[in-house]
Chains A and B, each alone.
Chain A
């Protein structure tokens, strides 16, 4: 680098002439805009912005000027350098964008192709519907109660007012556990969970009990020896049949849609008095098929109502056997078969599909019912 030279005539330093600086700048800008690709631009950058480039060399000459001339020359060179740098940067941006666009274009794929990571499996619809029922009632503040499947006969029958030789006890087609007289059975309904709830909890009791139960039926299109039920039990002060109806109406709407309701028909169960069968207003035809042969309904058989389960006011004898003060408390209970619910709610036609474990059955449902 040249040191200061006071004898040197600044006007005679050619590279710092205004015209010369402009020319250098214009040459650089022309070269950049003429670069066809990133490699050519890099080459032009070396020529016009590199260590040996005219503008850099010119810059070095500024020091040789007398101090009074340096400012003007510095400004001139600085402006030119900025213009060249800007020219480079804008061309670089253009070329990079073009490059990226070309590259992405070559990377196009067929997004419809399959892939090998495992597909989503499926829940069994009986599990899904149990959980949905549980959710309806936990949202009301109820608890989900559970119990064992091999159950004490006392809890399955006696505690629920099924007396030892009463025909109702014989109607249940019970599996007995060896040895005969062991006092143990496969529970014939989820009702022993009600007894367990009353024996272990203090009122107010609001529980829903989904579970697997057993009766000695042969498997066919509408029967299975192993099936699922859900039962509800409430024991509280001042509980009435009206509360049972209100709960069932809410349950029907939650499971089948707005505007539907439950209907009670008197019946007999040992553990409730009064007892009733629960019908559900047909959620498909909403009664429009009744007496209307032009609009038959497969779901309800044009009856307008679908048989759903049983219910009633808890028989005070049941409360008594389970240690609930019958002067103070009353209760209601209801129960439904979940297979049957799936059959009419989701159009399952054959009970066997639900128990044979064919994956194709579960897979139809995935994670929703």
Chain B
């Protein structure tokens, strides 16, 4: 809502020296979101001039200029050059003199042009910052609008500050000068001159016939008729100026007056050419298949839920959203039917959304308009048309009004103080509520305070409810009965009234008190371990990144994910940012590889990045989530079905390594990051959360089929690590042999211990034994190691693989694995034969299980 300060001043007696910024500051403190204040950079001298003489002088460039003498209230005439021709001798014009600065920073000086010295110039509407008035020339004032030498800045209110206010949904009334003026009057503690306070001269009957079929959707419908207007008349300059300053273009007197009254009072107006109406106006819902061409020349298919204005010809408007083209007023119109109505906010909001049509009218109706306004607004439109378009107002008037009166609410007199936690006296509370337009009375003796939330059964409040209080004044009352004004339909609950009292009391005057929470338990085990994983990864040299969770087929294709892979079953969005990425990620790598690609593209070849984030896994059966009532807590079953309807969303951790892990340097040759580094990082993550995973080779996209490790815990797969498939590296533009990890961090953490129990450790000497075993090449080292551990028994302290050998000496298809075993007993020094026996038992399991042969020498 754009609010010119000069317009505001008409209804609020603001101190003369306040600026737009001052008013903005006050309004912001009162809760209006003033986004910008436009301050004019115009400075004079700018005066009214009377054209004394002019000469038409054709120029070589084909133009004809006028060499004019002007009376600007001085002894000598002012001589200027003018390019426009829309004026005659005797006309009053606006003259800018040397030394002035026009809007946009255009400094004016006397200058030589077309063979003359021009001492200033005659101004057009655009040059004065009033916008294009469509005149294709300079501004010609009405006779008597001023006298030569008058300050034109003051006369035309040219230096006006404009406040741009973002009106929040609860303050629909502030989509009008009237509403903002009310706030400004309260803020400055001055009287409001209500522009709606005008004399009604309608008879209340016999107006244009109207029938409302849906009184809930249309609770008020008023029409007035003005006959014999000159539709071609120009709107007065002040009205055009205000419309322009408010961001609307002047169009014609009929349209301008309707827009002006909407801006002034907040009541949207529609005007019909009476000659083009046929029969009774009927307000009803649409029938199937009905169509309407709206004022923007679009033919719209109507929905059965749309509320329509119709006549015998069919639909002539979508109520509260946009009128129809067929009954539009035109230059030929003489008789105008004015509609001022009140529509249900939800009906209008839905229609506006359905037709993707947000109009000045719908924006206001959606936020609810003062239901008392229609008769006054229609009167105002009629008055303005009569005055400026020469029409005659018929006394006949149609008034359909079934709107309920605002309901009074009873609340504790100290409610605002209790909500604020501040000392707000009863007097202050009453004063503030009254200033926003409420009627405040002491509650009747048997009144009961309204529940804090409507729908909650009223508390007994015995200690105050039974108190007898006077009925005509509120001093000492324990309960108040407050009736909100018609323009504040948002005031319904006790807290709504508390907010009004507190904001006017001043949020700054509320004390600052830190509440004492009961003792907390700190971070949960999961929250703590997630932090430690991140810290460990950073310690290992990885950098955390974030990326969007959106993905699509292109990512899965690039990753080589097969068509029937479960990861391609995704949660999809109705309105994704990009149609190419309609899905929520089922694997972190989809988006992490794109991030790696971006970094490599920016020259970072050696990359070690990680990310944690949710993945979105649809359930086998997807059900819609219910929308239970908000009147009370949903049942446990309803809450459960809310949760059940959602996809599984475990937290994953992903890692991508590209290029060199260690660079080549003075220490020697560098080492590329490879599959083993990826597997080791996965192991690191597992050990941070206290889990010992089982690792085995598997084949899975996007990894290299021979270089992918599957991690599992207690039989459940928790993720994978290894080298990426060469085609995947290529598809994402990554260096060859890049590698990646993805683990289900939630599952890993859940598998970890709640806490750690200490075990005693032995102080007796260790016995070390090495063993080399020749096994078939396809046997996994981890399995051989597990077999050794199993066979070695309780004396085994640790087993570690320290060498892998393949070659001629041991034959094709075989490999030699060398392990270091450490034995130790808790209670004694081990004897040689005990160690030898344990070693032999360990080897024996590998012999039995894998046909291992001990390698000697």
Listed stretches A10-18, A27-35, A93-101, A272-280; interface member = A272-280
| A225 and B577 form a contact (CB under 8 A) | yes
Most A C-beta atoms less than 10 A away, residue of B170, B508, B604, B616: B170
Which of B454, B496, B543, B624 is A122 in contact with, Cβ under 8 Å? B543
In the bound complex, CA of A277 to CA of B498 (Å): 17
Which of A167, A240, A320 is B349 in contact with, Cβ under 8 Å? A167
Q: Which residues from 519 to 551 on chain B have a C-beta closer than 8 Å to any C-beta of chain A?
A: 519-524, 527, 531, 534-535, 537-549
**Residues of the B chain whose Cβ atoms lie less than 8 Å from the Cβ of A131:** 531
> CB of B345 within 8 A of chain A?
yes
Distance to closest chain B CB from A182 (angstroms): 5
| A182 and B624 form a contact (CB under 8 A) | yes
Which of A225, A275, A327, A362 is B544 in contact with, Cβ under 8 Å? A362
Distance to closest chain B CB from A301 (angstroms): 13
**Residues of the A chain whose Cβ atoms lie less than 8 Å from the Cβ of B595:** 356-357
Distance to closest chain B CB from A273 (angstroms): 4
Contacts A326-B452, A357-B598; A183 near B609 (Cβ below 8 A): no
> CB of B637 within 8 A of chain A?
no
> CB of B631 within 8 A of chain A?
yes
**Residues of the B chain whose Cβ atoms lie less than 8 Å from the Cβ of A178:** 571-574
| Chain B residues touching A, range | 35 or more
Which of B28, B494, B537, B649 is A150 in contact with, Cβ under 8 Å? B649
| A246 and B512 form a contact (CB under 8 A) | yes
**Residues of the A chain whose Cβ atoms lie less than 8 Å from the Cβ of B28:** 265
In the bound complex, CA of A122 to CA of B543 (Å): 4
**Residues of the B chain whose Cβ atoms lie less than 8 Å from the Cβ of A234:** 515, 517
Which of B419, B611, B624, B627 is A240 in contact with, Cβ under 8 Å? B419
Which of A127, A149, A184, A274 is B495 in contact with, Cβ under 8 Å? A274
| A116 and B633 form a contact (CB under 8 A) | no
| A319 and B169 form a contact (CB under 8 A) | no
| A357 and B547 form a contact (CB under 8 A) | yes
Q: Which residues from 662 to 698 on chain B have a C-beta closer than 8 Å to any C-beta of chain A?
A: 662-663, 665-667, 670
In the bound complex, CA of A184 to CA of B571 (Å): 10
In the bound complex, CA of A138 to CA of B517 (Å): 10
In the bound complex, CA of A220 to CA of B419 (Å): 40
In the bound complex, CA of A175 to CA of B595 (Å): 23
Chain A residue with minimal CB distance to B518? A204
Listed stretches B29-37, B701-709, B750-758, B834-842; interface member = B29-37
| A176 and B574 form a contact (CB under 8 A) | yes
| B420 and A240 form a contact (CB under 8 A) | yes
Listed stretches A36-44, A54-62, A63-71, A153-161; interface member = A153-161
| A116 and B547 form a contact (CB under 8 A) | no
> CB of B135 within 8 A of chain A?
no
| B419 and A313 form a contact (CB under 8 A) | yes
| Chain A residues touching B, range | 35 or more
In the bound complex, CA of A113 to CA of B666 (Å): 9
| B544 and A242 form a contact (CB under 8 A) | no
Which of A143, A199, A354 is B639 in contact with, Cβ under 8 Å? A199
Chain A residue with minimal CB distance to B651? A146
**Residues of the B chain whose Cβ atoms lie less than 8 Å from the Cβ of A141:** 516-520
Listed stretches B38-46, B286-294, B499-507; interface member = B499-507
| B514 and A249 form a contact (CB under 8 A) | yes
Mark each residue of chain B from 641 to 657: 1 if its CB lies under 8 Å from any CB of chain A, else 0.
Answer: 01101110100000000
> CB of A323 within 8 A of chain B?
yes
**Residues of the B chain whose Cβ atoms lie less than 8 Å from the Cβ of A330:** 419
> CB of B298 within 8 A of chain A?
no
**B-side binding surface: helix, strand, loop or mixed?**
loop
**Residues of the B chain whose Cβ atoms lie less than 8 Å from the Cβ of A241:** 419-422, 502, 507, 510
Contacts A118-B661, A168-B169, A240-B419; A359 near B609 (Cβ below 8 A): yes
> CB of B263 within 8 A of chain A?
no
Mark each residue of chain B from 457 to 499: 1 if its CB lies under 8 Å from any CB of chain A, else 0.
Answer: 0010000000000000000000000000000000001111011
In the bound complex, CA of A170 to CA of B547 (Å): 26
Contacts A150-B649, A241-B420, A247-B515; A143 near B521 (Cβ below 8 A): yes
**Residues of the B chain whose Cβ atoms lie less than 8 Å from the Cβ of A121:** 537-544, 608
| A116 and B502 form a contact (CB under 8 A) | no
> CB of A53 within 8 A of chain B?
no
Chain B residue with minimal CB distance to A277? B33
In the bound complex, CA of A87 to CA of B599 (Å): 70
Contacts A155-B642, A170-B349; A367 near B518 (Cβ below 8 A): no
Distance to closest chain B CB from A85 (angstroms): 36
Contacts A120-B538, A241-B420, A267-B31; A273 near B575 (Cβ below 8 A): no
> CB of A263 within 8 A of chain B?
yes
In the bound complex, CA of A232 to CA of B538 (Å): 29
In the bound complex, CA of A179 to CA of B459 (Å): 43
| A246 and B515 form a contact (CB under 8 A) | yes
| B572 and A355 form a contact (CB under 8 A) | no
| A206 and B520 form a contact (CB under 8 A) | yes
| B29 and A265 form a contact (CB under 8 A) | yes
Distance to closest chain A CB from B540 (angstroms): 6
In the bound complex, CA of A17 to CA of B670 (Å): 74
In the bound complex, CA of A315 to CA of B29 (Å): 21
| A165 and B546 form a contact (CB under 8 A) | no
Distance to closest chain B CB from A92 (angstroms): 33
In the bound complex, CA of A164 to CA of B513 (Å): 36
Q: Which residues from 346 to 367 on chain A have a C-beta closer than 8 Å to any C-beta of chain B?
A: 354-360, 362-363, 367
> CB of A171 within 8 A of chain B?
yes
> CB of A76 within 8 A of chain B?
no
| A273 and B495 form a contact (CB under 8 A) | yes
**Residues of the A chain whose Cβ atoms lie less than 8 Å from the Cβ of B546:** 124, 126, 354-355, 357
Distance to closest chain B CB from A116 (angstroms): 4
**Residues of the A chain whose Cβ atoms lie less than 8 Å from the Cβ of B503:** 266, 274
**Residues of the B chain whose Cβ atoms lie less than 8 Å from the Cβ of A116:** 662-663, 665, 667, 670
> CB of A180 within 8 A of chain B?
yes
> CB of A78 within 8 A of chain B?
no
| A182 and B625 form a contact (CB under 8 A) | yes
Which of B30, B420, B517 is A242 in contact with, Cβ under 8 Å? B420
Which of A142, A154, A225, A250 is B548 in contact with, Cβ under 8 Å? A225
| A359 and B499 form a contact (CB under 8 A) | no
Distance to closest chain B CB from A213 (angstroms): 12
**Residues of the B chain whose Cβ atoms lie less than 8 Å from the Cβ of A263:** 507-508
**Residues of the B chain whose Cβ atoms lie less than 8 Å from the Cβ of A167:** 169, 349, 366-367
Most B C-beta atoms less than 10 A away, residue of A154, A161, A180, A275: A154
| B511 and A367 form a contact (CB under 8 A) | no
> CB of A316 within 8 A of chain B?
yes
| B573 and A245 form a contact (CB under 8 A) | no
> CB of A106 within 8 A of chain B?
no
| A152 and B625 form a contact (CB under 8 A) | yes
| A249 and B520 form a contact (CB under 8 A) | no
Which of B496, B498, B514, B624 is A183 in contact with, Cβ under 8 Å? B624
> CB of B285 within 8 A of chain A?
no
Mark each residue of chain B from 575 to 586: 1 if its CB lies under 8 Å from any CB of chain A, else 0.
Answer: 111000000100
Chain B residue with minimal CB distance to A126? B546
Mark each residue of chain A from 125 to 148: 1 if its CB lies under 8 Å from any CB of chain B, else 0.
Answer: 011000100100010111110101
Q: Can you show 18 pairs from A to B with CB atoms below 8 A apart?
A: A118-B540, A119-B541, A141-B520, A148-B614, A149-B616, A153-B627, A165-B346, A167-B367, A175-B575, A199-B639, A263-B507, A264-B507, A268-B171, A274-B502, A316-B453, A327-B456, A330-B419, A358-B599
Q: Closest 6 A-B residue pairs measured CB to CB?
A: A323-B633, A240-B421, A266-B31, A118-B541, A242-B421, A183-B625
Binding site for B on A (CB under 8 A): 113-124, 126-127, 131, 134, 138, 140-144, 146, 148-155, 158-159, 161, 164-168, 170-171, 175-184, 186, 199, 204, 206, 212, 216, 218, 225-226, 234, 236, 239-243, 245-247, 249-250, 261, 263-268, 270, 273-277, 313, 315-317, 319-323, 326-327, 330, 354-360, 362-363, 367
Q: Kindly list 18 other residue pairs between chains A and B, CB separation below 8 angstroms, not including A154-B634, A175-B573.
A: A119-B541, A122-B538, A127-B534, A149-B616, A152-B625, A152-B645, A182-B625, A242-B510, A242-B512, A243-B515, A246-B511, A266-B29, A267-B31, A273-B493, A277-B33, A320-B455, A326-B456, A357-B545
